[in-house]
Amino acid sequence: MSEIKKFAFLVTLFSLYSTEQNKSLHLIDTKKKWREAQSYCRQHHTDLASGTEQLKEAVSKLSRKPPSWIGLFRDTWRWSDGSNSSYRHWESVDELTVELSKTDSGTRKCAMIALNKEGKWSADDCNNTKPFFCYDEKWILINESKNWDDALFYCRKHHDGLVSITSREQQELVKEKAKNATTPYVWLGLRYSCALDLWFWVNDQLACYQNWANETDTGHCNLAVAMETGGEHKWFKKDDGEKFNFICSL
């Protein structure tokens, strides 16, 4: 297998793995300055790789590549996408001391990850050019209040559709999105069919995985499902005319 094909295979393998975690990671081999890399990621993806979970698999799947920019930059060291992870993986204690030292020259303000066995981080001048990591998210919370039909129309027009949850793992990831909603519930892509007398996802999947807070017996036909944005994030039957925030699939 050629090096180009091998690299493409590894990126694809990693992206498939990360998508299960609601994020797919992409190594961009074109060398750019940190700000240029950030702009590229925000234009073509979501942002520079931000947060430790996104980077762990990259270390094992994409070894023997040069150090690459990640989304950590020095303004009291924060992530490009606003992530609040306080975990750091600096190359050494001395490295951390240098990065936080008031006597530092101030030029080494952007973080990079070494794609080797340990995957340690270090800092460099943001104007140096390097490959970089972008990420894409699988779902997006829309902080607008709409009834179920309007939410479905919005998601299909601007994204892929209302979110479907078919496993416990997806439930855990979607509930993290729901926590940032401004309404007590968020619409999901699950609706009741009177004609078929069953609940179905709008992506045509049957509702095998369930997380009901109440009985699924229906009193009328105009019902859809919303997840509570607090508590245990259970699913509730709601009149589809009610207005809530909603989550779209990308």
Q: Are residues 228 and 119 in the same domain?
A: no
- Flag whether pLDDT at 76 surpasses 80: no
Domains identified in the chain, total number: 2
Q: Are residues 75 and 29 in the same domain?
A: yes
DSSP state of 2: -
Angle at 44 between CA 40 and CA 48, to 5 degrees: 55
Q: Are residues 79 and 160 in the same domain?
A: no
Between 173 and 91, name the one with better pLDDT.
173
Q: Are residues 107 and 222 in the same domain?
A: no
**Given this model, what pLDDT does residue 216 score?**
56
Q: Are residues 164 and 85 in the same domain?
A: no
Task: Give me the domain span that covers residue 18.
Answer: 3-136
Q: Are residues 122 and 174 in the same domain?
A: no
Which of 46-50, 86-90, 179-183, 236-240 bottoms out in mean pLDDT, i.e. has the lowest? Answer: 86-90
What is the spatial distance between Cα 138 and Cα 21, in angstroms, rounded to a whole number?
A: 9
Q: What is the CATH number of the domain that holds 23?
A: 3.10.100.10
Q: Which of 83, 113, 136 is the last residue of a domain?
A: 136
Q: Are residues 131 and 33 in the same domain?
A: yes
Q: Are residues 82 and 52 in the same domain?
A: yes
Q: Are residues 163 and 78 in the same domain?
A: no
Q: How far is CA 216 from CA 35, 160, 213, in A?
A: 51, 27, 9
What is the spatial distance between Cα 134 and Cα 26, in angstroms, rounded to a whole number?
A: 5
| First vs last C-alpha separation in the chain | 32
CA atoms within 13 A on the CB side of 58: 30
Q: Are residues 200 and 122 in the same domain?
A: no
DSSP state of 65: E
Q: Which of 136, 163, 184 is the last residue of a domain?
A: 136
SS3 content of the chain, % helix, strand, coil (to 5): 25, 35, 40
pTM comes to 0.57
pLDDT digits (tens, 9 = 90+) for 16-38: 334 335 677 888 989 999 999 98
Q: Which of 147, 217, 203 is nearest to 170 (CA)?
A: 203
Q: Which of 136, 170, 196 is the last residue of a domain?
A: 136
What is the DSSP code string of 81-95?
T--------BS-HHH
Q: Are residues 127 and 195 in the same domain?
A: no
- Flag whether pLDDT at 153 surpasses 80: yes
Q: Are residues 131 and 7 in the same domain?
A: yes
pLDDT digits (tens, 9 = 90+) for 81-140: 666 555 566 665 455 555 544 434 556 678 888 766 566 778 888 999 999 888 877 888
